[in-house]
Amino acid sequence: MPNSETVFTIVTFVYGLAFILYVAAWIFKKSLPGKTATGVLIAAAAGNAAGFVLRWAESHQMGYGYVPLSNLYESLVFFALCIAVIYLVVEYRYKVRTIGVFASIVPFLAMAYASLPSVDSQIQPLIPALQSNWLIAHVITCFLGYAAFAIACGISIMYLIKSASASPDTGTIGRFPDAETMDELTHQMIAFGFLLLSVGIITGAIWADQAWGRYWGWDPKETWSLITWLIYATLLHARFMRGWEGRRIAYLSCLGFVAVLFTYFGVNLLPGLHSYQ
């Protein structure tokens, strides 16, 4: 029986195949590659979930028994799974596969990054600070939020490309969803992600109180999580109260995801209590 790392290696290539098929369907305007891409992405997500469960079982067999969400490797695997699942829901609801070009490349890159030798993939015992159910709730909600923000950023890039095109309704650009649909999808993804990020910050504060005896300590991760939350709060406020839409919302969506990436990866370069290693 293969171990979880072998499963994740296979899943990485399956995500890559899904991306190629989505690109082929977009460029050549063929339905068969598009339908195949959806099937391949479903297979990749299923394999990703199976590998996650297998790694969980392996930690039990080794006597540690924890949900695999405790280090950079495991978070990248879970991040890829969240993006694939949320995107598949979007595709099923809106029947638009061109978004898959942007949504499928991120899980592939996340899994590819996880496979680098510099990312420690070993299952190790948890330190006492990580032995909390609040940590599980914190990580799951935050990464579901991050995944929604990633898809929103992809749709926003599509919106900006289409709005800047001299021929937005012809050629490959013309196969993007219409501007109104992309604007609404961006809003929905960000509202969903903002709710989950808010829950993630609250559960993280409760976990911090249990682990270190304080709810908030201005640790780099905490500070950048707050910055990310404020950017998306500003976006939602501007949309609801000022009527912002279109390019301005798309730019803010991209800016917010840059903050997400720094919160996730950038703070690992700074000293802190809970940087991912």
The verdict on 154 and 50 lying in the same domain is no
For residue 182, which of 126, 79, 102 has the smallest C-alpha distance?
A: 102
Q: Is the same domain home to 153 and 62? A: no
Please indicate, yes or no, whether residues 150 and 270 belong to a single structural domain of this protein.
Answer: yes
Whether the pLDDT of residue 275 is over 60: the answer is no
| Statement to judge: residues 162 and 254 lie in one domain | yes
- State CA 209 to chain mean position distance: 27
E strand map for the chain: none
101 in the same domain as 205: no
Which of 91, 125, 159 delimits the end of a domain? 125
Identify whether residues 118 and 131 lie together within a single domain.
no
Same structural domain for residues 132 and 269? yes
- Helix ranges (H only) for 62-98 are 72-94
Q: How far apart are CA 191 and CA 145, in angstroms?
A: 9
CA distance 207 to 169: 50
Whether the per-residue pLDDT at 64 is higher than 60: the answer is yes
Kindly report, residue by residue over 7-17, the tens digit of the pLDDT: 999 999 999 99
Q: State the residue for tokens 């992405």.
A: 41
Per-residue 3-state assignment (H helix, E strand, C coil) for 40-56: HHHHHHHHHHHHHHHHH
Q: Are residues 68 and 3 in the same domain?
A: yes
Domain count of the fold of the chain: 2
Cα distances from 263 to residues 132, 238, 255, 276, in angstroms, run: 22, 23, 12, 10
Confidence bin at 161 (pLDDT 50/70/90): very high
pTM of the model: 0.94
pLDDT in tens, 199-236: 999 999 999 999 888 999 888 889 999 999 999 999 99
Q: pLDDT tens across 173-184, in order? A: 999 999 999 999
CA distance 70 to 73: 8
Residue 124's pLDDT is: 87
Are 152 and 263 in the same domain? yes
End position of a domain, from candidates 125, 140, 172? 125
Q: Are residues 78 and 139 in the same domain?
A: no
Q: Do 216 and 177 share a structural domain?
A: yes
Q: What is the pLDDT of residue 270?
A: 73
Radius of gyration of the chain (CA): 19
Alpha carbon distance 38, 265 (integer Å): 29
The enclosing domain of 87 has a CATH number of: 1.20.120
* Spatial CA neighbour of 193 closest among 155, 241, 247, 246: 155
The runs of H, that is alpha helices, within the chain are 4-28, 31-61, 72-94, 99-114, 133-164, 179-212, 220-242, 247-264
Confidence at residue 126, expressed as pLDDT on a 0 to 100 scale:
84
- Predicted confidence (pLDDT) per residue in 109-158, tens digit: 999 999 999 999 999 888 887 888 999 999 999 999 999 999 999 999 99
> Where is mean pLDDT largest: 62-71, 73-82, 93-102?
73-82
All residues at 6 or more sequence positions from 171 whose CB lies less than 8 Å from its CB, including other chains? none
Find the domain containing 269 and state its range. 127-276
Q: Which one of 125, 145, 166 terminates a domain?
A: 125
Task: Examine the domain organization and report whether 250 and 141 are in the same domain.
Answer: yes
pLDDT on residue 272:
63
CA distance 214 to 199: 18
Give burial (CB, 10 Å; 0-12/13-18/19+) of 170. Answer: exposed
Q: What pLDDT score was predicted for residue 41? A: 98
